[in-house]
Amino acid sequence: MVSIFGLMDPLRPGIRDAVEQCHRSGVNVRMVTGDYLDTAIAISREAGIITDHDLNSNEDGYLCMTGQQFREIVGGIVTKYDPETNKRIDSVGNKRAFREVTKKLKVLARSTPEDKYLIVTGLKDEGNVVAVTGDGTNDAPALNRADVGFAMGLAGTDVAKNASDIVLTNDNFCSVLTAIKYGRNIYDGVRKFLQF
């Protein structure tokens, strides 16, 4: 007799609503994970990151891809050193391809720490404000490179927490939405104050 067991971690309550609110607020949510592509697509559909319409109109294959495909298309990270400051400057190898892919990219599966760092670096170079959530040691480079790094306080490693700007004590993505709301409120308040 042969048996097959399937296990699934359910999404936390409120995740789908939080993702919808992010979309309404102009925040582009991307899922970058080490999971297999099919698993990542299923989870992102359940969370509302991608829709059936997105999948049906995915002609070029950029909506959901693996880290290896992404690296090959965008040329990986290119490192240069500034001779005056002797600082390391990282950038995307093929910026034109990066722009084309990230216009549509929502799910990046089978990704490595380098892939996470690559996408954050490219998005920042394009002038985007980038926030990253993570809990593992492999997330530390991306958490550190992002404008705002959110580490998970309960399940997160010490390396991830030290690389982050904010530690979420409840490990809940919905808390990121709260941080965005308060951050925008403070930003608007400062802008109003500086006008006078």
CATH code of residue 180? 3.40.50.1000
Q: What is the pLDDT of residues 109-163, one digit of tens each?
A: 999 999 999 999 999 999 999 999 999 999 999 999 999 999 999 989 999 999 9
The confidence score (pLDDT) of residue 191 equals 87
Q: How far apart are the first and last CA of the chain?
A: 78
Whether 116 maps to a domain, the answer reads yes
Whether 172 maps to a domain, the answer reads yes
Whether 2 maps to a domain, the answer reads no
Helices and strands in the chain: count of H runs, count of E runs = 9, 8
The confidence score (pLDDT) of residue 86 equals 84
The confidence score (pLDDT) of residue 129 equals 93
Residue 152's closest CA among 121, 176, 129? 176
Whether 160 maps to a domain, the answer reads yes
Q: What residues make up the domain containing 179?
A: 27-195
User: What is the C-alpha to C-alpha distance for residues 16 and 22, in angstroms, rounded to an integer?
Assistant: 10
User: What is the C-alpha to C-alpha distance for residues 58 and 68, in angstroms, rounded to an integer?
Assistant: 19
Q: Which residues of the chain have pLDDT under 50?
A: none
The confidence score (pLDDT) of residue 173 equals 87
The confidence score (pLDDT) of residue 144 equals 95
Strand 107-109, strand 31-32: pairing? parallel
The interaxial angle of helices 15-24 and 37-47, nearest 10 deg, is 80
Whether 5 maps to a domain, the answer reads no
The confidence score (pLDDT) of residue 196 equals 63
Total number of domains in the chain: 1
Which residue carries 């808390």 as its tokens? Answer: 175
